[in-house]
Structure 1
């Protein structure tokens, strides 16, 4: 039965409330999959009627960036307006962030925007720590009676079809669960909101309209898909990415996540392929071949990509599209185990001939006496041309007729001459569970022709994040897999901290990281690679090590330790003893903290008393990395995938981030400014002329003329209040510290 269609959100929600009553538990996808208008109308109903209990289960709600001071607002607000132009703010998220959720609205999440809810008790108390693949199970325990999702719309086989687009990750499982749990009472609904900006994807994204009970469909409710801007890539991150790129094997499988490190890895892989001489010099400058020769020889490589790569990732990141355009993401896999084996065994390496048919018969994929289903199967995968027809035990093609029998020599001759395809069809270069990125990503998908878009197949995370559903086929497809993810900290015994703090506050969520780390252990030729920046700057301007002796929160336990990469090196931890692991981790730590780690290890009896740090690893300092990579700056862009920020905004962001690290927070009021200004010259110890200028606020001293375009962007070029004059000098100082002026 087709769904009831509405062109008014209020009428659609009326139907939901009429059917489900005043106790509604709604599940909605992460990221782009949220139907903002439907969710907002449900929230407004609950706000207006305290008897309506509304519980929301979701993850990763996208919202316009906020600010903590007027100075920060001047930078962030125009950028947010530009990036989120036309995007309806999600009301429950606003209420949660403001601490204003009423008692009749609860929001449960299993993944936060990183760091956004550290100081939010409501969000922290309603966080669910579950693997991505277990999220549907968690939802099932909540007695959900409503799924709402943003969908695309298009045609399939000439029929109008809805499309899960960016988020088939969990929806099929949740829909099936809803139908099973409420089969007797029919008190559950699946409701879609059409958005014509959603790319029409393939794989498991197309969905029968009958899966929905109701659909909100009117162009008035279309809104721009939104995503985070690309973050700048630091020199340290480029160093990490270059090291990681040498662990990727030609003909292998790639999984990476969103963020600056993912962008950097894509850039390093492209550099390896497109400018191999520069790439080779860069990794030699970092000492990669000497640092981990066995890993490179046995698991990676540094040559250009001949076979290409295939992506199997819960998230389809923009890096994959860039690698595809560069001809690197080009290794096709096939969603049929027999066809995949034809490829893996080299039977179709030089084209399709009769040996492919014989192999398929031997595998049991087809019968020697071909049936109609066999012919359809062979056409589907390109073994037969589309023109081949089956008719009453015979094959017809190009005016020729022969028995549909592979044991018949005459038939084999006709088939070889007229029926065989030029190459396999329906190959995939990427399987992904959801996507999220810049407007360029969405535009690229929308503009792709259908054949090319089908090569990016959207699947459930039950398939992308584990082997259970894909079985032997997934193992064949995911050969030489490198599952590359980011951690915040790592212990010297190889445990990784990715999603929370020692006091149990949640930064983000485990997402799919544990699934991928575990899958790497289950694949004979798979490796998990965790990226950790060796240090972090503290709020008071200090530096602390991210390689630590121990930590009060762990995401990946040490018994799953594999490969950890920092800007200083690659630690190969798999199957090694604790002492060997500690030695590896000390080697990739910042040298300012190595001695303390060694001392703690020896005190605990985990290292021999006579062990010392090898000389080659005693120069692990930021300036060492900067110096090594400086000759390659032109090939290591700050924004490998481009940026939505103007040049002025990039410089302002660098400058204000530097300033924020050097003083404890930016002043939010005039009363707080004088003491902050007074501490700047001694705290920063440089740019004395600018520091003097800061000390002369209000005396009419001019800021450098070079700062004017930046001040205009911040609306500080013509200050009218004392606070604006102070901010003008702060911005000028920050720009000078960032070498922008």
Structure 2
């Protein structure tokens, strides 16, 4: 088969790609860097023609023009995990929000939605006719298998990641080309409090452990505290710059992993150009659909699996609110529950929720007697394992309500401990 000839036959302009959209269509686009930016930006040109189009996406990293106020009757966003670009839209009711466990998102798309079109950014085609979903395999690859129409946006900047990350040109309906730069997330320098948290977390991580962690000041502080560890592995939904640091220092070898020995396993990536270059055509890294990476059963097969996540507030039972402030939807569940449950089932595994002891410039304790009214529980009291702040570690699993309250008060900020003790509903 002449794949280049087939490419030319399926190649259309961005304007023609947007013309394929009909009123009432449900469209899925890739998470983060996998968003088909050129196509999505062109969608606004059809505002007057289209009605009730829904675009489903997690964590957009680009402020698309269709996010503008007044577009929602024509093209409405359905957020499956908020980013700063969609947070206000959702809470202003100009966009919708779909609760989900990340590992279930491909099944939710295929079982509960008729997906008319998948549009996704991919790497250039190889000589065998394959495109890589690059930085966004997650739900994007599985949805491509079920969508009525598949339109790929070929971007020279997209890394060619390996693993279960490919789609063949024979499975594609249309192709466009784009030179949009990939979104980048700068590496945030951890502050003094985050560095102390990182040190406490590092004490819980043994040589030979396999890790899941994300992005931000606390994860960066944790990776900075792991430089004396040996033979760590990665099985994580998200791949980050901090992991590259540990590979280059010889800390991450994946040598002791019980599954996918020698391999970093991920589902999506976001960070700097350095990370994207590291991932490009790297045989150490395998990207897989999130239905695999985040399946708690698969996660649990990793020996000494350690999941590291964060939350906004935690109550004295250990219930963690990681996605809302009261009723305001900040982000989403993502893979937190998937990895919490998988890690604690792993032989020698641990689940860690790490957070600063205060918020709002030290005026509010993040450890509270009861969660704020309307707050959503992301990690429940029966799932929680370790909670870490800059004041220490509270191991809650298997503890009574009274023991949990005592342990959490001991790692709260000293300014709030007396009041927490006074209000604690579970202390003896």
What's the counterpart of residue 334 of structure 2?
511
Structure whose residues are more often strand by fraction: 2
What's the counterpart of residue 101 of structure 1?
71
Q: Distance in 1 between matches of 2:207 and 2:256?
A: 14
Shift of 1:532: 1.4
Shift of 1:154: 4.4
What's the counterpart of residue 131 of structure 1?
101
CA RMSD of aligned residues (A): 2.2
Alignment of 1:342-353 (within 5 A): none
What's the counterpart of residue 317 of structure 2?
493
Q: Distance in 2 between matches of 1:118 and 1:169?
A: 25
Shift of 1:121: 3.9
Contact 1:57–1:139 under 8 Å retained in 2: no
Q: Distance in 2 between matches of 1:121 and 1:488?
A: 17
Contact 2:318–2:384 under 8 Å retained in 1: yes
Alignment of 1:47-196 (within 5 A): 47-50=47-50, 52-63=51-62, 90-93=64-67, 95=68, 99-114=69-84, 117-118=87-88, 121-123=91-93, 126-140=96-110, 141-155=112-126, 158-178=127-147, 188-196=148-156
Shift of 1:123: 4.7
Q: Is the counterpart of residue 463 in structure 1 residue 277 in structure 2?
A: no
Q: CA, structure 1 residues 173+444, in 2 after alignment: closer, same or farther (shift >3 Å)?
A: closer
Contact 1:5–1:215 under 8 Å retained in 2: yes
Alignment of 1:300-699 (within 5 A): 304-305=229-230, 308-332=231-255, 427-446=261-280, 450=281, 453-468=282-297, 470=298, 475-476=300-301, 478-502=302-326, 504-537=327-360, 543-551=363-371, 552=373, 553=375, 554-601=377-424, 604=425, 606-608=426-428
Q: Distance in 2 between matches of 1:323 and 1:132?
A: 26
Helix, strand or coil for the counterpart of 2:265?
Answer: strand
Q: CA, structure 1 residues 203+318, in 2 after alignment: closer, same or farther (shift >3 Å)?
A: same
Structure whose residues are more often helix by fraction: 1
Q: Distance in 2 between matches of 1:230 and 1:548?
A: 30
Over 3 Å off, 4+ runs: 1-4, 118-125
Q: Distance in 2 between matches of 1:24 and 1:125?
A: 16
Unaligned runs of 5+ in 1: 64-88, 179-187, 274-303, 341-425, 609-741
Q: TM-score, normalised by structure 2?
A: 0.92
Q: Distance in 1 between matches of 2:53 and 2:17?
A: 16
Shift of 1:600: 1.6
Contact 1:428–1:454 under 8 Å retained in 2: no
Helix, strand or coil for the counterpart of 1:48?
Answer: coil
Q: CA, structure 1 residues 116+149, in 2 after alignment: closer, same or farther (shift >3 Å)?
A: closer
Shift of 1:524: 3.4
Q: Distance in 2 between matches of 1:102 and 1:109?
A: 13
Size of the aligned set, in residue pairs, is 419
Contact 2:352–2:386 under 8 Å retained in 1: yes
